[in-house]
A and B are shown apart, each in its own frame.
Chain A
Amino acid sequence: MDKKANYKRYINAKVLIYLVLGLGSILMIFPFIWMLITSVKTIAETTRIPPTFWPDDIKNTAAYRSVTNSLPFFKLYLNTILMIIFRIICALVFSSTAAYALAKLNFRGKTLFFTIIITQLMLPSQIFIIPQFKMISQMGMTNTVFAMVFPGIVSAFGTFFLRQAYMGIPDDIMEAARIDGCNEFQIFYKITMPLTKTAMSALAVFTALIAYSDLMWPLIVNTNLNKLTLSAGLSTLRGQYVTNYPVLMAGSVLAMLPMIVLYLIFQKQFVEGIALTGTKA
């Protein structure tokens, strides 16, 4: 009897969980669906009274044509991809070497170096922005991909995060490699670095997401529409098409498409990578 009541309670709890998670999921997905639906509507449809939910013509690409006319999307994609790739390479290469030195080697000034990294992590990145901008403009590098990569050339977070990964590698492995005749650099490159693969891919995902969603820096260093990132480029539409929502939504769809596609393919790496960067840091 008691068992039966327990079972019933268990089923009820499950139904409740599905219900809450399901309703929540609708709230999470709906804005994106609404974005898609609006992007194939005409302005007249979006301002119709009484309002209609479904578009009259699902194959209406007028808004997409307008938005690709006013924004050089091909270039925005290219700029964003290049910025992300360079930032990932920099973060992985420089942070890996520094993290290895911090975790496995002894050198004078180690504590100081580590303190600098921790301090940088605590400071809001905006505090560096004006001087960074001045450097870029003094170098005459505004409106370049380099300008967008610039603040991310080195990553204090990446160094800190990968240091944890290297600390988890037992010294015995390195000792064995040393006996086998590996030099210090080979030990790093051939033996330990491959062992931090999970952490490196997590850092890559993290770096990509931060770079992709950043708005303030690209807006500051790039004024040329052809040199903007997707985020920043999209933000310029807001003054141009104040009430033309189909065009704004078409632009948003195009801007979020590449990341969504990557997310759908590498969903597990994304979610687990982010969980790793969050909990290990």
Chain B
Amino acid sequence: MNTKLKKKKQKKNLIAYIMIAPTMIGLVILNIIPFFETIRMSFYKSGSFGKWTFCGIDNYIKMFSSSGFWRSTWNTTYFVILTVPIGVFISLVLAVFLNAKIKGRTIFRAIYFLPMVVAPTAVAMVWKWMYNSEYGIINNFLRSIGISNTINWITNSKTALLACAIVAIWSAIGYDAILLLSGIQSISKSYYEAAKIDGASGIKQFFHITIPMVSPTLFFVIIMRAMTSLKMFDIIYMMIEERNPAIRSTETILMLFYKESFVNNNQGYGSAIVIWAFLIIGVVTLVQFIGQKKWVNYET
């Protein structure tokens, strides 16, 4: 009896291993080995014809003493500051509005979600056209309401990153709002009823009921949005070309990584850059997890 049970258990065990095998093997080949490989490569210099020579921490020294590298780190940080707080706030307000009992809610929801199903390359293209300083519709509109000085949205180093941030916010609010909406919908109605009896206004309800009750979802959205912004590549890559004078003030860490690794073919240096990106993302996420204790409310 005992051996039979044991045998059955072993058989189950075997089935489990067969079932996880593809994912396990895949993760080892595609992720675990590459992760360590990237760390290793960051200590190597890639020469011509695939020759790699060990160079100690040279890549890191080069990186930390490069002004372009620090600029890209700052640009990325600034981009996060520009996109995350404003974007998440707009999404939250939007989610509250989408939660209201009105007709056409699904249509509104679908409209705000639309940029999510369009490739960022196409999104970047049309915004670049709208931002065009001479013929773009935004400047044309501003001229028609009397603001006649031409704004070089994406070629002026002062406005270029902001212009890209607007596109990123515009692309993401629908997605974030839908996540927040499902969080809001799970808040018990009784809280609002009690608040109404106490005479709390809509705005008070928003700050004292909605935000605390939706805070776990809000925290998740902020974490994800910060990560996505730290990894920004596609929109800015599409909108700001190498020739653009504003490239210096818009190049993000991952754009630098892409350029060094696959345009300049300097993959050892590229590995060092991507490890830096990984460290920053790790630290920012960690800080948020520590900070969440102060404001995220897990009691329901």
What residues on A are CB-neighbors of B87 within 8 Å?
none
Per the bound structure, the CA–CA distance linking A88 and B254 in Å amounts to 26
- Please tell me if the beta carbons of A278 and B120 are within 8 angstroms of each other in the complex: no
The residue among A29, A100, A274 with the most chain B CB atoms within 10 A of its own CB is A274
Contacting A at CB under 8 A, from B133-160, are 134-135, 137, 140
Q: Which of B77-85, B230-238, B291-299 touches A?
A: B230-238
What residues on A are CB-neighbors of B11 within 8 Å?
184
The residue among A130, A154, A216 with the most chain B CB atoms within 10 A of its own CB is A130
- Please tell me if the beta carbons of A106 and B16 are within 8 angstroms of each other in the complex: yes
Closest to A38 in B: B129
- Please tell me if the beta carbons of A95 and B127 are within 8 angstroms of each other in the complex: no
A interface footprint on B179-206 (CB within 8 Å = 1, 0 otherwise): 1011100000000000000000010000
What residues on B are CB-neighbors of A131 within 8 Å?
33-34, 37-38, 41
A interface footprint on B89-103 (CB within 8 Å = 1, 0 otherwise): 000001001101010
Query: Does A129 make an interface contact (CB < 8 A)?
Result: yes
What residues on B are CB-neighbors of A270 within 8 Å?
113, 117
Contacting A at CB under 8 A, from B201-236, are 202, 217, 220-221, 224, 227, 230-231, 233-234
B221 to chain A, nearest CB (A): 8
Per the bound structure, the CA–CA distance linking A185 and B179 in Å amounts to 35
What residues on B are CB-neighbors of A108 within 8 Å?
13
Which of B118, B170, B178, B261 contacts A130, CB < 8 Å? B261
Query: Does B70 make an interface contact (CB < 8 A)?
Result: no
- Please tell me if the beta carbons of A127 and B274 are within 8 angstroms of each other in the complex: yes
- Please tell me if the beta carbons of B125 and A234 are within 8 angstroms of each other in the complex: yes
Q: A46-B135, A98-B23 are in contact. Are A107 and B181 (CB under 8 A)?
A: no
What residues on B are CB-neighbors of A146 within 8 Å?
none
Query: Does A69 make an interface contact (CB < 8 A)?
Result: no
- Please tell me if the beta carbons of B16 and A255 are within 8 angstroms of each other in the complex: no
B73 to chain A, nearest CB (A): 15
Per the bound structure, the CA–CA distance linking A39 and B126 in Å amounts to 10
Query: Does A70 make an interface contact (CB < 8 A)?
Result: no
Query: Does A145 make an interface contact (CB < 8 A)?
Result: no
Per the bound structure, the CA–CA distance linking A24 and B174 in Å amounts to 11
- Please tell me if the beta carbons of A128 and B35 are within 8 angstroms of each other in the complex: yes
Q: How many A-B residue pairs have CB under 8 A?
A: 266
Per the bound structure, the CA–CA distance linking A255 and B19 in Å amounts to 37
A165 to chain B, nearest CB (A): 15
Closest to A116 in B: B27
Q: A38-B129, A255-B122, A279-B217 are in contact. Are A151 and B20 (CB under 8 A)?
A: no
What residues on A are CB-neighbors of B94 within 8 Å?
21, 24
What residues on A are CB-neighbors of B231 within 8 Å?
124, 126
What residues on B are CB-neighbors of A116 within 8 Å?
24, 27, 32
A277 to chain B, nearest CB (A): 9
The residue among B17, B19, B26 with the most chain A CB atoms within 10 A of its own CB is B19
- Summarize B's interface: helix, strand, loop or mixed: helix
B interface footprint on A90-111 (CB within 8 Å = 1, 0 otherwise): 0001110110111001111010
B60 to chain A, nearest CB (A): 16
Q: A127-B274, A216-B258, A249-B126 are in contact. Are A234 and B114 (CB under 8 A)?
A: no
- Please tell me if the beta carbons of A14 and B19 are within 8 angstroms of each other in the complex: no
Which of A18, A20, A101 contacts B20, CB < 8 Å? A101
- Please tell me if the beta carbons of A123 and B119 are within 8 angstroms of each other in the complex: no
| Size of A's binding interface in residues, CB under 8 A | 93
- Please tell me if the beta carbons of B254 and A126 are within 8 angstroms of each other in the complex: yes
- Summarize A's interface: helix, strand, loop or mixed: helix
- Please tell me if the beta carbons of B135 and A151 are within 8 angstroms of each other in the complex: no
- Please tell me if the beta carbons of B275 and A127 are within 8 angstroms of each other in the complex: yes
Per the bound structure, the CA–CA distance linking A4 and B140 in Å amounts to 46
- Please tell me if the beta carbons of A215 and B121 are within 8 angstroms of each other in the complex: yes
What residues on A are CB-neighbors of B126 within 8 Å?
31-32, 34-35, 38, 249, 252
A interface footprint on B40-60 (CB within 8 Å = 1, 0 otherwise): 010000000000000000000
Per the bound structure, the CA–CA distance linking A251 and B140 in Å amounts to 24
Q: Which of A57-65, A195-203, A256-264 touches B?
A: A256-264
Query: Does A77 make an interface contact (CB < 8 A)?
Result: no
- Please tell me if the beta carbons of B120 and A130 are within 8 angstroms of each other in the complex: no
What residues on A are CB-neighbors of B100 within 8 Å?
13-14, 17
Question: B residues near A, CB below 8 A?
Answer: 9, 11-13, 15-20, 22-24, 26-27, 29-35, 37-38, 41, 94, 97-98, 100, 102, 106, 108-123, 125-127, 129-130, 132, 134-135, 137, 140, 170, 174-175, 178-179, 181-183, 202, 217, 220-221, 224, 227, 230-231, 233-234, 237-238, 241, 254, 257-258, 261-262, 267, 270-271, 274-275, 277-278, 281-282, 285
* 9 more CB-based (< 8 A) A-B contacts, given A20-B97, A256-B118: A29-B114, A97-B22, A105-B16, A106-B9, A106-B12, A106-B13, A123-B278, A126-B257, A127-B38
* Sample of 7 A–B contacts (CB below 8 Å): A35-B129, A38-B129, A106-B12, A124-B230, A127-B34, A231-B120, A262-B117
Complex A-B, nearest 6 residue pairs according to Cβ-Cβ distance, in ascending order: A154-B26, A131-B34, A107-B16, A98-B23, A252-B122, A97-B19
